[in-house]
Structure 1
Amino acid sequence: MLNELKNVFLAGVGSAAYTYEKAIKLVDEMVQKGKITVDEGKELSEELKRTVKTKTSDESSKPITKEDFRELLKEMDFASKEDFDSLNNRLNSLEEKINKNDAE
């Protein structure tokens, strides 16, 4: 489970980096084709860097806490260890009743 969430997180980081790289390439292509000036290209590149830096230092990119993680799993309707333990206890109780009735 933790591996899957780690992969999702890394995919998000990777896609953000990929998007940034594509945007920089697009700006370079526009400069080469003469659609924008070199100065405008530099300005756009700097704007992209500032935006990425702001987004990464933003409050929303703070490390996730254990409580945040639990809340996220709860919102996603994942079963907790307590849920599994409760179901396991109920299952054991039912098995005992069935075995007791079969023995009679």
Structure 2
Amino acid sequence: MSDFDVTDGFRKLFLASVGAVAIGAEKSQEVVGDLVKKGELTVEQGKTLNKELSRKAKEAFDNTSDATLRSRLEAMSPEERSAYAAKVAQMSAELDSDAVKVDVEGADAPEDSAQ
């Protein structure tokens, strides 16, 4: 029993839920496409239905992600949660910093090409 890693279990659960949402979205797009081909739906109805299904799939994914994260946090001690939050904040700051660098680099490109 000591070989069981809770984090690995949560990761597998999360990946399984992502896969289920992805498969559901793919299958729904196939069904809508088939109905449009058969003439049972107009192309416009198919697009509207597909957008709605995609929105619902994204909501389901977001809800699953939140639930998985909450479960993982609940399994941690307060010290572990604090360290995890600090690590996430650091990663977020690094990503924000990278985004600013990309924006600045992208802003320089038109001036360079104009010369």
TM superposition score category, shorter chain reference: 0.5 to 0.7
Of 51, 61, 70, 2:65 maps to: 61
Aligned residues: 69
Q: When you count helix as a share of all residues, which structure comes out higher?
A: 2
Q: Secondary structure at the match of 2:70?
A: coil
Greater RCO (CA < 8 Å, at least 6 residues apart)? 2
TM-score, length of structure 1 as denominator length: 0.54
**5+ long unaligned stretches in structure 1:** 71-104
Could you say which residue in structure 2 is the equivalent of 1:18?
A: 23
Change (3 A) 1:11 1:57: closer
Q: Which runs of 5+ in 2 are unaligned?
A: 77-115
Shift of the alpha carbon at 1:49? 2.0
One-letter code aligned to 2:55:
R
Percent identity reads 32
Report 1:1-104 matches (<5 A). 1=5, 2-58=7-63, 61-62=65-66, 63-64=69-70, 66-69=72-75
Tell me how far 1:11 sits from its aligned partner: 1.0
TM-score, scaled to structure 2: 0.50
CA radius of gyration, larger in: 1
Task: Tell me how far 1:56 sits from its aligned partner.
Answer: 3.7
